[in-house]
Amino acid sequence: MKKIIMAVFTLCLISSVHATEVAVIDFRAALLQSNIGQEAAKEPKQKVAEMDARLKQEQEELEASAEKLKREELTLSEGEFNARRKVLAEQQNKVRSMGAAMQRQAKELEQQLIQSLTPQGEAALKALIEERKLDLVLNRQVSLYANADADITNELVARINKDN
């Protein structure tokens, strides 16, 4: 981590000596905030919402089963109680696995979306760099500090919207 910070600091120091125009950008956010990003995200958002609803339904069913088992605990034989508890534990594992799989799938959908929008974003960024005569553009997440005037994310969103 120290090496990364030192590399960024050194890059900034060298760039400040040679560069006249430096900017920071959140490329991912610009893509997702643009009109084409908003339009392209509708279907993945719908899929994620459907997955979330299904997961919530499974969780509610699991909670209902747990409550039922708790109510019937005293009336069940020890063997029957243990068998039901085992089934309940298996259902809990199934719901956890389902949640993890849905998170992975949602992340993959977002990555596919970003990947499909990247060419338009790169073209708009290149035009913006040439227009503003920028010498250095850094990812906003990598920079330690950037003046608000140095952040061109909103300009990139506007440029993507204009070009597409």
* DSSP secondary structure letters along 129-159: HHHHT-SEEEETTT-S---GGGB-HHHHHHH
Residue type, 19: A
What is the per-residue pLDDT across 110-160, written as a single tens digit (0 to 9) for each? Answer: 999 999 999 999 999 999 999 999 988 999 888 888 888 889 999 999 999
Contact 8, 74 (CB under 8 A): no
Residue type, 58: E
pLDDT score of 151: 92
pLDDT score of 142: 87
DSSP 107: H
Enclosing domain of residue 120? 2-163
What's the domain count of the chain? Answer: 1
Q: Look-up: residue for tokens 């998170």? A: 103
Tokens representing 109? Answer: 């959908």
**Binning pLDDT at 50, 70 and 90, where does residue 19 land?**
very low
pLDDT score of 73: 84
Tell me the three state secondary structure of residue 19. coil
What is the per-residue pLDDT across 22-65, written as a single tens digit (0 to 9) for each? Answer: 899 999 999 999 999 999 999 999 999 999 999 999 999 999 99
**Cα gap 58→53, rounded to integer Å:** 9
Phi-psi region of 103 (alpha: psi -120 to 50; beta: other; left: phi over 0): alpha
